[in-house]
Structure formats: structure tokens, C-alpha cells
Amino acid sequence: MEQFITFAGNHPILSTAWIAIFILIIVISIKIKMSPIKQISPQQLTFLVNREEGKVVDIRAEKEFKLGHILDSLHLASEKANKNDFSSLEKHKDKPIIVVCAAGMTAAKVAEQLFKAGFTKVSLLKGGMNAWVNAGLPVAKK
């Protein structure tokens, strides 16, 4: 403990940075847990689709979508997502919607927009299509 105090005294900027990073990790973790939009695994996605008639919405570029996508998923063009045009999903409004992107990073924004547009059961695939493929799950090609 004495060495830690000495280090903190000798390196105040570095110590402050570590404390800030630690606090940010805690805040982000709490925000994720409290969010109405849940990150789900490929197995949980399968359960939602099979048991609750969930719908997978793929937001990747059309070229990537055609190379391989989750079976029966809908493609949502980025232009439509950016304009909050979710008219093609209206008939699925009360069913679970799972947003999928390439690596699970850009899906959060679209999932948030869907939630604000009145879709109550929105989730996103943690790790995106990369997680789906790495889990050895089937991919459809058009």
C-alpha cells in the first residue's frame, strides 16, 4: 500500500488517468445493465427467434448481407436507419427485434433508434455477425 501511495504522489497525472478509466468502466457497465436494450449471445438470439418469433434485422452493407447473413433476417439499409425509416419493420413492432452488424459496434445506435420509435423488445447481437460465424452457426447466402 505504501508503494501505491508513493507511486500516486510521484505520478499524479497517471494516477488520475487510471482512476478515471476505472470509474468509466464502472459507469459503462452499470449503463449497459440498466439499458432497456440488451446485448444477447448467438444462443439467446436463436431462442428468441424460435420461441418468441423474434426478427433479426441486419444493418450491414447490402454487399456484406448478400455474402452471408442469419437465416430469415431482414436487411435494413443504412440510409433508412439514419432517417429513422422503420416502416418495413412495423408489422414486427411487438415481437423481439435483434439488430445485427458486423462486429456488434454500430448496432447499438440503430437499436436505440428502434427503441425510441416504439419497438419495445429490442436487443443487439453481442459481437455481431463475427460472433455468429465464430459460434459455427448457419449462414444463408443470396
* SS3 of residue 72 by DSSP: coil
Q: What is the pLDDT of residue 49?
A: 92
The reported pTM is: 0.77
Pairwise CA distance, residues 20 & 26, whole Å: 10
| Active-site residue, 102 included | no
Catalytic residue, chosen from 101, 114, 124, 131, is 101
3-state secondary structure of 111: helix
Q: Which amino acid is at 84?
A: N
3-class SS shares of the chain: helix, strand, coil, % to 5: 55, 15, 30
Above 80 in pLDDT, residue 128?
yes
Give the domain ranges of the chain: 2-33, 37-134
DSSP reduced 3-state for 36: coil
Mind listing the pLDDT tens digit for each residue in 24-42?
A: 999 988 987 888 888 999 9
Place of cell 434485422: 57
Q: Domain 37-134: give its CATH code.
A: 3.40.250.10
The string of pLDDT tens digits covering residues 29-84 is 898 788 888 899 999 999 999 999 999 999 999 899 999 999 989 998 877 877 87
